[in-house]
Chains A and B, each alone.
Chain A
Amino acid sequence: MLLDSFTLTWDLEVTIDGGRSFKSVLADKDLRSVGFATDTTWLVLGGANNGEASTLYRTTNGGRSWQFVKTPLVTATTTVSRAQLSRLCGKVRCPSMGML
């Protein structure tokens, strides 16, 4: 397996003969990093350059086939002050203002 980068655009290429030949996998995709859980189970992060959404790919057979991986969700809690809400809702009565 070979993954390296010179311009922040990465290629993932696989060798199974000690480096004599390489085969591109996930060709033409902007890859950012790869994680190797085992010799055959890998996770590859692609996209996310130029504002694109990240894409995760996984293989369990050393790159012969790939599946999209659903990225985990992060729940963020944000606090907004009543003053902020009042400014926002000053011209129009917000549906949620009655809760304050």
Chain B
Amino acid sequence: MEGSTGRPAMFEKPKAGLRILVMVVMVLILGAGTTSASARPAKTTRTAQAVHPATQTEAHAHVTWLTVTGAAGNLWLLGDYPCSSGTCLAIFRSENGGESFVRVGVPPVHALEPRGLPTGSLLFANRQDGYAYSSDGPSGEDSFFWTGDGGTTWQGVQLRGALAAPIVVADGRAYAVTYKCRDPACSSYDFASSPVAENDWTTTRNFLPVETKGQNVSLSAFGSSVWLVLTPQGVAQGADCSSHGTVGGPGQLSRLTRSGVCSPVRSLRHLPRRSGAPATASIPARPCAQQTAGVASSRSRSPPLSLILRCSHSRTKRPCFWIRSR
């Protein structure tokens, strides 16, 4: 339906239009306060109640989902959303493969962004025992929490230094590598572990030197083994997979014992992507075009796959090759 000017009729009624505008502004203000650049204002199904001197409004918040994780037949979903105190966390658990979710408790922080960490921020070892964490880097404060009751309650985990890599869980224990930097030097890496059923961490201090600030650390777990990868953070912009020598020196791959002792792993298999027989190589058999090697664990119990490193093309982000332990 259009008015005499050819515009929609609503523009012929300024008061009604202004009312709508005011309501839209109210909704925008109610959803304000987010610290996430990608967050949108809260919207949908707003229901206002008369409360003096203020009005409480309920809305379905726009949640920025941060990560998912799984263990022992369960899945968890972590997100944050704008709320009256700025940003609030939400954790959901699914016991039926993602068909439905129930909300569980959250750690007493407003954000768990994986700043400085390539991934992580939520990890469960089983249905009850799990971890939520974030890192502000070597000079900042970490947020690191443990739950032993499926997320109903959370306790703070106190470690010396910042998390250098996402924590991992192997054989009923959680493992973490931390470090501290105070310009211009960084301290050595510490190695900490705790039974997943307790918040009882033991730390091996200075188990490995920090050689450079840009050093990249990855932890991975498979079965009862924990693996540590140290690689220099040499990024060769524009390099491709066939370029050699464009990225910094070799890295180290070690198998960690529970007490933090490193056993260097020297025998690896080089797996050209989608090509023939693998060849034996050390790290790096070829320089990584993009940052460093990363670590991924197979959850499959079938041997021989136990650990994979992968290098990636810097521009296309496609993988160049993998190296796996023998």
Contacts and interface: CB of A to CB of B under 8 A. Distances in A.
Chains A and B bind each other: yes
Interface of A: 1-9, 11, 13, 15, 18-22, 32-39, 41-45, 48-52, 54, 56, 58, 60, 69, 71-85, 88-89, 91-96, 99-100
Interface in B117-140: 118-119
B60 to A, nearest CB: 5
B299 interface: yes
B119 A36 contact: no
25 contacts: A2-B298, A6-B294, A6-B312, A7-B291, A11-B318, A15-B298, A18-B302, A18-B303, A21-B274, A33-B67, A37-B71, A37-B94, A43-B94, A69-B98, A74-B61, A76-B59, A76-B88, A77-B83, A77-B84, A78-B83, A79-B84, A84-B29, A92-B22, A95-B23, A99-B50
A7 B37 contact: no
A6 to B, nearest CB: 4
A99 B278 CA distance: 74
A77 B48 contact: no
Contact of B54 (A54, A75, A82): A82
B276 to A, nearest CB: 10
B38 A35 contact: no
A76 B97 contact: no
Nearest to B44: A73
Q: Indicate the member of A32, A74, A82, A94 with the most B CB atoms within 10 Å.
A: A74
B29 A88 contact: yes
Interface in B73-92: 73-77, 79, 81-84, 88, 90, 92
A13 B317 CA distance: 14
Contacts of A44: 68
Nearest to B310: A4
A96 B48 contact: yes
A91 B70 CA distance: 52
B271 A20 contact: yes
Interface of B: 15, 18-19, 22-23, 25-26, 29-31, 37-38, 42, 48, 50, 52-61, 63-77, 79, 81-84, 88, 90, 92, 94, 97-98, 101, 103, 118-119, 271, 273-274, 278, 290-292, 294-296, 298-300, 302-305, 308, 310, 312, 314, 317-319, 322, 324
A9 B70 contact: no
Contacts of A99: 48, 50
Contacts of B118: 5, 8
Contact of A88 (B22, B69, B296): B22
Contacts of A13: 319
Nearest to A82: B53
B67 A45 contact: yes
B104 to A, nearest CB: 11
A48 B81 CA distance: 13
B53 A81 contact: yes
B27 to A, nearest CB: 10
B274 to A, nearest CB: 6
A80 B30 contact: yes
A88 B26 contact: yes
Contact of A2 (B68, B82, B304, B310): B310
A20 to B, nearest CB: 7
Top 3 A-B pairs, shortest CB-CB distance = A35-B70, A76-B61, A35-B68
Contact of B38 (A50, A73, A84, A92): A50
A98 B79 CA distance: 37
A94 B23 contact: yes
A8 to B, nearest CB: 8
A76 B65 contact: no
Contacts of B290: 6-7
A26 to B, nearest CB: 13
A44 B97 CA distance: 11
B64 A54 contact: yes
A75 B66 CA distance: 18
B221 to A, nearest CB: 13
Given A19-B271, A74-B61, A85 B299 contact: no
